[in-house]
Every structure is written in C-alpha cells, then in structure tokens.
Amino acid sequence: MCGRFSLDATKISLKEFAVSQIRYTPPTKFNIAPTTGIAVVRRDQDSERELVELRWGLIPVWAKLDSKLPLMINARAETVASKPSYRSAFKTRRCIVPATGYFEWKKLPDGTKQPYYFTLASGEQIAFGAIWEGETVATITTVPNREASAVHDRMPVILRENQYERWFSPDPLSEDERLDFLGPLPDGSLQTYPVDRRVGSVRHDDPGLIDPWQIKAAQPRLG
C-alpha cells in the first residue's frame, strides 16, 4: 500500500485545506497509479498553501535523476524520520495528497488477488500524509487498523483536519507528534468492499472501478 487511489475532484474541499494558490486543476480519476502526476497540497515559500501537480514517486535530493533507485512511492512511518531517502523531506517538506478512496489487494485461498476499495466511513475526503522533494512526492504508510488489516498489512497515513496546521509547519515534529500523526486511524473509521479486478490495469479509468463487485460465494463486506 498504497499503489492506487481515486480522486473525485468535485468532492475535494480546498477550503478545508486552506489552499490560497491553485497552480493545478486536478481531473476526476478513478485509477491513479505511481509515476503519474497527482494533486498535492503543500506550503510554498511564502508559507501559503498551494495546490500543485507532482510526480508520484519521490526522488531524494541527493540522487541523480537518471539513477536506478527503486520506485519510492511509499515511505514507511516507522523509518520516514530516519531513512536517508526520506528524512530531510520529512523534517520540513510534509504535504497532503487529497483522495476520495484507495485500493488494496487481498490474497485469496486460490492464490489470486482481489482488489478492495477503501473510503472513510464518514464519507469525508481523505488526506494522505506525504512528503515532497523537488517535483516528486511519496505517500506514507503505517500499520493497519481493524478494517485495513482484513485485507492488507499496511494502510496509508490519513490525517485529520485538526492535524493539518502542524503537518504543514516547516518545523520538525517531536517524537510524540510523530507517533500521533503517523499511527493508523481508529477502528471503525474505514469502510471497504471488493471491486472489479480491472483496476489492476492502468488502461482502465472509469466509475465502474469503484462500484461494489460480487465475488464468489458469500464474501462478507468488511468494515
């Protein structure tokens, strides 16, 4: 996690993120994949919040553009403050990736993988905790809560509105703040259901990808 997510641009509240500069108008997309340009809210040089487009897949400040580093789409909450690839960005370049839902794959007994779609049970927009470097960005993952653990062993860091102000601050987080901000959401915060396996291909991008999908036998709805 998290390797795919969706963004319904009509449901994203820039007012909630206190965005003052809109430098990118994101389209509605149902199957957003790594290496593509995604919407990011970050603090600009004047300490204002701006909405920009960054490439999903962070390139560390010390890396050459043509280096053969692994694709850094996710940073782990446990090591984001210490790992050389991420620690500089985590100190002062924290940002938010808006979303309306995300996908994760569950391995079934027959060895196949079934995608599930996750949203907030409240119906609110999602704010992925992320870090940026230059024109690139990586989202942060953490241990799962109850709903997420039924599908996968990781989940994205999802920030709450009362955390935004501190998250956007250029000052490093304290250890207590880091543990608070980077923990999983409380149990009961997510809802999820199986969806069409077409989401596994980036060629597909349509509303049907987030519709509930009937799978074999009585697979219970999670969350």
198 vs 17: CA distance, rounded Å: 32
* Residue 57 in this model has a pLDDT that exceeds 90: yes
Closest of 64, 70, 4, 75 to residue 34, by C-alpha: 4
9 vs 167: CA distance, rounded Å: 23
pLDDT, tens only, 129-183? 999 999 999 999 999 999 999 999 999 999 999 999 999 999 999 999 999 999 9
Cβ–Cβ under 8 Å, residues 140 and 167 = no
131 vs 140: CA distance, rounded Å: 8
| pLDDT the model gives residue 214 | 78
| pLDDT the model gives residue 180 | 94
127 vs 42: CA distance, rounded Å: 12
Closest of 64, 50, 34 to residue 96, by C-alpha: 50
| pLDDT the model gives residue 68 | 67
When pLDDT is cut at 50, 70 and 90, the band that residue 217 belongs to is: very low
When pLDDT is cut at 50, 70 and 90, the band that residue 218 belongs to is: very low
* Residue 31 in this model has a pLDDT that exceeds 60: yes
State percent of the chain over pLDDT 90.
84
H or E element: which one contains 138? Answer: strand 136-142
Task: Supply the pTM of this predicted model.
Answer: 0.92
* Residue 222 in this model has a pLDDT that exceeds 80: no
Catalytic residue numbers? Answer: 2, 104
| pLDDT the model gives residue 64 | 66
pLDDT, tens only, 89-121? 999 999 999 999 999 999 998 889 999 999 999
82 vs 94: CA distance, rounded Å: 15
* Residue 78 in this model has a pLDDT that exceeds 90: yes
102 vs 128: CA distance, rounded Å: 10
When pLDDT is cut at 50, 70 and 90, the band that residue 215 belongs to is: low
DSSP 139-185: EEEE---HHHHTT-S-EE-B--GGGHHHHH-SSPPPHHHHHHHTSPP
CA-to-CA dists, residue 99 to 65, 93, 129, angstroms? 28, 19, 11
CA-to-CA dists, residue 79 to 90, 111, 178, 179, 182, angstroms? 10, 31, 11, 12, 11
152 vs 8: CA distance, rounded Å: 24
pLDDT, tens only, 59-70? 987 776 666 667
For the beta carbon of residue 202, count every other beta carbon within 10 angstroms.
13
